[in-house]
Amino acid sequence: MSLKYARAVFAAFRMTYLSLVMDSFFIFATLLMPLIYALIAFGILRDKGAHYGIYVAIGSGLAGLWSTLLFGSGNAITSERWTGTLENIAALPTPLWVIVFGKTLASTLQSLLSMMVSYLLGWLVFGYPLTIAQLPEFFGVLFFGILSFVALGLMLAPAFLLNPQIQQFQNAMEYPVYILCGFLFPVALLPFWTTPLSYVLSPFWTARALQSAAGGTLTLDQLAFDGAMILALGVIYLGIAALLFRVVLRKARVDATLGLQ
Amino acid sequence: MNAAVQVSNLRRVYKSHIGAFRRKVKEVEAVKGISFEVEPGELFGVLGPNGAGKTTTVKMLTTLLIPTSGTATILGYDVVKQADAIRPRIGFIFGGERGLYWRLSGLDNLKYFSALYQIDPAISKQRIPRLLELVGLADRANEKVEGYSRGMKQRLHIARTLLNDPEVLFLDEPSIGLDPVAAREIRQVVRDLREQNKTILLTTHYMFEADELCRRIAVINHGAIIALDTPANLKRFARDLAVVEFQVNRVTPQTVERLKGLPFVDAVSVEEREQNSLVIVQSPRGSEAVPDLMAQLNGSAIQKVSVREPTLEDAYVRLVNQADETEDG
């Protein structure tokens, strides 16, 4: 069963990626837009010192990643409505959440590529090195952090099955995560009652571990704790997403909203 | 022998909300408690005009919609409670061009759906080229779907729906909007599938298609089955009739109403063509009625008159008219 799901995830990933690459906008989004962002960001950071740059890079990178996931998971369903394929894939042996997981991974990869191009440009064009003190730990946390991110985005996707108009509320879901996970400023500045909310969001633990790894202060204890939180929350998100997909799909079959555009 | 498809008192109501603040619920009963069975290996037709409830019925049987009441089983599995057991065993297509990934090639579309059907890669590798051959797309398989004609897209849909070697196929208006050549190709593919002993439920509003392909036909109108029989038996509904056809330059709605009002006229329909119109009159008096009918068509510039035997289409028109009159009355 799990091998069949893995194949389906890969197929959805490949199909989405091929569709993205076939689109001429892909070149603009992956190469030209990062160049514009790099120009702005590294212009602002010109006199701040190399150490400061990596913190901004992690925060803005994760914020960008969350936006991509939020829109990617929603669009994974909305785009199927546009092409008229939602009904075709909703009545297949592979659960819909598995397909959306694969599709969201593909948009995440595009976002990562875009970010890498952006940082590479900052380094090559502006001579702004992004120093990461604990490189293997950094990329290990990043890999599992992204999987956990995708699972978080997946929990929101079922809402898009109910009504195509839900897209209008996508933007409203961006900033709560930016703020609660400390992408824009440290969570210590937030009121105390918000702390539990930060703790149940895996991007909070990802950002914390990434910043420590970049600064060279990530201890083995912190790595184990933050890593366990990232993985555990990711598994919980997946379980909730699978349940929500099942409940919402049944409601969509009652309300006849699968065929809507 | 157990039926491949068993439908009992199946009913579906759509609810929609009207108004922004004081929202009212509007209910439309799309399918009104229909019952029928499809035997294994049978090609069963569901014939009806647009909006009759054909697609809603297919969507309930393919687990995409939950019925409001009644039951339906596919290969013995309940469409609501055992949807997961049904999905690997069925295939379905809905008419029209949508439902494919246009930016990908036909081959990539099939590879993708094959993975989602959880078919073993070794089997897919053999099956996909065979299906492309079956639907005549083998030499265009690597081209993007956006460059395909409507008929080619529809044939790709058929290949897609055969990926899992389904036991039961639901084909919802597969030839809709196709040119005559493409529609004939689709019918040939359906005929081939019938030869392979697949159980097929075909919906259409093309009479000749149903007549040519189906063993039995359910005629559906306003969500209810108004007749269910073999094409030959259905034609008997109109055997006491003859059909008089007038090719005319123009015909006004008033003239059509006058014709309908004649005591010896059973039904009147008009086919609008590019250069002229065809007025089709069903009457038990046949050729004897021609002079009286011509008198009513005075001023329509009659080009041609012919009298013929009734077809399945005439039986269908009579059935639908009778059902409409009963509902209105």
Q: Please check whether residue B221 is in contact with residue B34, taking contact to mean a CB–CB distance below 8 angstroms.
A: no
Among A19, A86, A92, the residue to mutate for chain B (most B Cβ within 10 A): A92
Q: How far apart are CA B251 and CA B4, in angstroms?
A: 47
B144 touches chain A (CB under 8 A): yes
Share of chain A above pLDDT 90, in %: 18
Least confident of A4-18, A52-66, B88-102, B148-162: A52-66
Domain boundaries, chain B: 5-235, 240-309
- Residue pair A204/A182 in contact by the 8 Å Cβ criterion: yes
Residue A120 has pLDDT above 80, yes or no: no
The separation between the first and the last C-alpha atoms of chain B, rounded to the nearest angstrom, is 41
The pLDDT assigned to A45 comes to 65
Tell whether the model's pLDDT for residue A177 goes beyond 90. no
Among partner residues B14, B99, B164, which is closest to A85 by beta-carbon distance?
A: B99
In whole angstroms, give the CA distance from residue B209 to residue B187: 8
Question: With an 8 Å Cβ cutoff, are B104 and A19 in contact?
Answer: yes
- Residue-wise pLDDT for A126-160, tens only, equals 676 677 888 899 999 999 998 898 888 888 888 88
Query: Does the beta carbon of B88 lie under 8 angstroms from any beta carbon of chain A?
Result: yes
Share above pLDDT 70 across residues of chain A, in percent, rounded to a whole number? 83
Tell which CATH architecture fits domain B240-309: 2-Layer Sandwich (3.30)
Domain boundaries, chain A: 2-255
A55-84: average pLDDT: 78
Q: Are strands B199-204 and B168-172 parallel, antiparallel or unpaired?
A: parallel
| Contact in structure between A74 and A167 (CB atoms under 8 Å) | yes
Query: Best interface-test mutation with B: which of A13, A88, A92 has the largest number of B CBs within 10 A?
Result: A88
Give me the residues of B, 156-215, that contact A with CB < 8 A: 160, 164
CB atoms within 10 A of CB B251: 22
**Using CB atoms within 10 A of its CB, is residue B25 exposed (0-12), middle (13-18) or buried (19+)?**
exposed
* pLDDT value of position A53: 66
One-letter amino acid of B154: Q
Task: Name which of A7, A15, A90 is nearest B104 (Cβ-Cβ).
Answer: A15
More confident site: A13 or B310: A13
Contact B98 A8 (CB under 8 A): no
pLDDT single digits (tens) A191-213: 888 888 888 888 889 988 988 89
Of B56, B62, B60, nearest in space to B29 by CA: B56
- The pTM (predicted TM-score) of the whole model is 0.81
Query: What is the mean predicted confidence (pLDDT) over A68-73?
Result: 76
Q: What would you report as the CA-atom Rg of chain B, rounded to the nearest whole angstrom?
A: 23
Taking the Cβ of residue A12 and every Cβ of chain B, the question of whether any pair is shorter than 8 Å is answered with yes
Q: Closest Cα of chain A to B120: distance in Å?
A: 8
pLDDT at residue number B327? 66
Tell me which chain B residue has its CA closest to the CA of residue A2. Answer: B118
Q: Select the more confidently predicted residue: B65 or A66.
A: B65
Task: State whether B116 and A99 contact (CB < 8 Å).
Answer: yes
Residue A48 confidence (pLDDT) above 70? no
| A84 contacts B108? CB cut-off 8 A | no
User: For residues A103 and B260, what is the distance between their CA atoms, to the nearest angstrom?
Assistant: 58
The interface predicted TM-score (ipTM) is 0.80
B124 SS3 class: helix
User: Within an 8 Å CB–CB cutoff, is residue A253 touching chain B?
Assistant: yes
Distance from CA of A149 to the nearest CA of B (A): 24
Residues of chain B below pLDDT 50? none
Say what the pLDDT of residue A1 is.
Answer: 54
Q: Are the beta carbons of A92 and B87 separated by less than 8 Å?
A: yes
Domain B5-235 has CATH 2.40.30.20: no
Tell me the three-class secondary structure of chain A, residue by residue.
Answer: CHHHHHHHHHHHHHHHHHHHHHCCHHHHHHHHHHHHHHHHHHHHCCCCCHHHHHHHHHHHHHHHHHHHHHHHHHHHHHHHHHHCCHHHHHCCCCCHHHHHHHHHHHHHHHHHHHHHHHHHHHHHCCCCCCCCCCHHHHHHHHHHHHHHHHHHHHHHCCHHHHCHHHHHHCHHHHHHHHHHCCCCCCHHHCCHHHHHHHHCCHHHHHHHHHHHHHHCCCCHHHHHHHHHHHHHHHHHHHHHHHHHHHHHHHHHHHHCCCCCC
The answer to whether the Cβ–Cβ distance between A7 and B111 falls below 8 Å is no
Q: How far apart are CA B202 and CA B174, in angstroms?
A: 8
Question: Which residues of chain A neighbour B94 with C-beta distances below 8 Å?
Answer: 87
Mean pLDDT score of chain A:
81
Beta bridge partners of A156: none
pLDDT band at A49 (very low <50, low <70, confident <90, very high): low
Q: Which pLDDT belongs to residue A28?
A: 67
Residue A56 amino acid letter = V
Phi-psi region of A131 (alpha: psi -120 to 50; beta: other; left: phi over 0): beta
A101-115 in b/e burial notation, b at 16+ Cβ within 10 A? bbbbbbbbbbbbebb
pLDDT at A161 exceeding the cut of 80: no
Local confidence band at A27 (pLDDT 50, 70, 90 cut-offs):
low
Q: What is the nearest CA distance from B41 to chain A, expressed in angstroms? A: 23
3-state secondary structure of B289: helix
DSSP B154-167: HHHHHHHHTTT--S
